[in-house]
Structure 1
Amino acid sequence: MRSATLLRGVAMAGAAVVFMLSVGWWQTRDRAQDAAGVLPLSIDRMSFTLMDQNGKTVEPQDWLGRPTMVFFGFTWCPDICPTTLSDISGWLEALGPQADQMNTVLISVDPERDTPEVLDDYLSNFDPRITGLTGPLPQIEAAAEGFRATYRKVPAEEGDYTMDHTAGVFLFDADGRFANIIDYHEDPRYAVPKITRIIK
């Protein structure tokens, strides 16, 4: 009886771990961030207005009807952002024509430096299907709140600064419902199938 109870306990603990992983314990620059049961809103419940690298106004409702992949970052990022954008470019290439069905978006957490022109130049180094968004700080804050993403300005040497931010890639299905998250530098063998599942 004690053995059966122990096995049930182990099974329940294992199931809890699987659940936590499935809802997205995503990483920040230096540590794992406990999602604490708070998931991103569905896209139709988000409210913000940003501008893409071509000067076009974008709202989250514009993404409905297509699966969506979103990453928060900034162009001065020394490691996580270029690595993730390279990974995203590789995933899109692996998906082939299916990737054309998606909204693939970088939202800048550094609007002070990331103008549309800066984003346009920066994103020219990656897959052209990636759209960059920037805008007034209150709108960036509203976007981060909807995604349950975090970011903060970190002072650096000689009066400069960098940004600490959520490093996961958010996935939503075509109806705008949160589907999954891809962790920083996740193996393509696991990342690409996650994306494939939201493309119908």
Structure 2
Amino acid sequence: MVRIAAIVAVFVAGVALLGMVFLSRGGGDDQFASCGAGAVAGDLGGPFTLVNGDGQTVTSAEVITEPTLIYFGYTYCPDVCPLDVDRNAAAVEILEARGQSVKPVFITIDPARDTPEVVRDFAEAMHPRMVGLTGSDEQIAEASKAYRTYYSAHPAVDGEYLVDHSTFSYLVTPEHGFVEFFRRELTPEQLADKVGCFIDQI
């Protein structure tokens, strides 16, 4: 019952986030128009300062050194996050086989439990090149705000709790910043095709 409630909450959060974003198919001189890029109302993405798996403070400029696929979640997530992050890792592997390099990044929204060591081990288990990031509550909130993600922790029961959160993945490049976001319904192959299209236009 708890898992059902959590899934419903995640869906509602996703719908709420979509309500904040205005989509229109690009055209004209938009270099990504052929990839079906959405025009986002207002700025999305931006600089952040977080902590990597080695406990080092890093900036977004140090993390986003190539096309990067970012996902916000938490390692204690019972089902949604592992599936989404695994999907992203599979898409990255498909792209690698095609000769396209994309860096997978996981940013926790549960820094109280997701220490540098925890996010490092989680990221390494998902993909050898995945970067796991955590930080202070304030640092996580700032990164989340930049990407307009949603998260809200449930009250703890015996020290355990779930966190409702949005489930989009974000493609970001050093040259262009935020490029596009992707829904979790995409398969690894579909995600790889979409991300690959954008990389071809860079």
What's the TM-score, normalizing by structure 1?
0.75
Q: Is the 1:67–1:198 Cα contact (8 Å) retained in structure 2? A: no
Residue of structure 2 equivalent to 1:122: 122
Task: Give 1:28 shift.
Answer: 6.5
Residue of structure 2 equivalent to 1:193: 193
Partners of 2:162 and 2:111 lie apart in 1 by: 12
Residue of structure 1 equivalent to 2:181: 181
Q: Percent identity?
A: 30
Residue of structure 1 equivalent to 2:11: 30
Partners of 2:122 and 2:65 lie apart in 1 by: 28
Task: Give 1:54 shift.
Answer: 2.0
Partners of 1:100 and 1:197 lie apart in 2 by: 10
Structure 2 matches for 1:53-92, cutoff 5 A? Answer: 53-63=53-63, 66-92=66-92
Q: Is the 1:84–1:185 Cα contact (8 Å) retained in structure 2? A: no
Partners of 1:166 and 1:178 lie apart in 2 by: 17
Question: Which structure 1 residue ranges, 5 or more long, are not aligned?
Answer: 1-26
Q: CA 1:106/1:65 → structure 2, altered by over 3 Å: closer, same or farther? A: closer
Q: Is the 1:67–1:175 Cα contact (8 Å) retained in structure 2? A: no
Number of aligned pairs?
Answer: 172
More off after superposition, 169-178 vs 107-116: 169-178
Larger Rg computed on CA atoms? 1
Q: CA 1:64/1:70 → structure 2, altered by over 3 Å: closer, same or farther? A: closer
Structure 2 matches for 1:38-187, cutoff 5 A? Answer: 39=40, 41=43, 43=45, 46-63=46-63, 66-96=66-96, 101-187=101-187
Structure 2 matches for 1:8-27, cutoff 5 A? Answer: none
Question: Which structure 2 residue ranges, 5 or more long, are not aligned?
Answer: 1-7, 23-39
Give the aligned residue type for 1:89: A
Task: Give 1:128 shift.
Answer: 1.1
What SS does the aligned partner of 1:171 have?
Answer: strand
What's the TM-score, normalizing by structure 2?
0.74
Deviations 1:119-178 (A, max 9, x none): 122223211111010010001000001111111111254352111111010112341332
Say what the alpha-carbon RMSD is for the aligned residues. 2.5
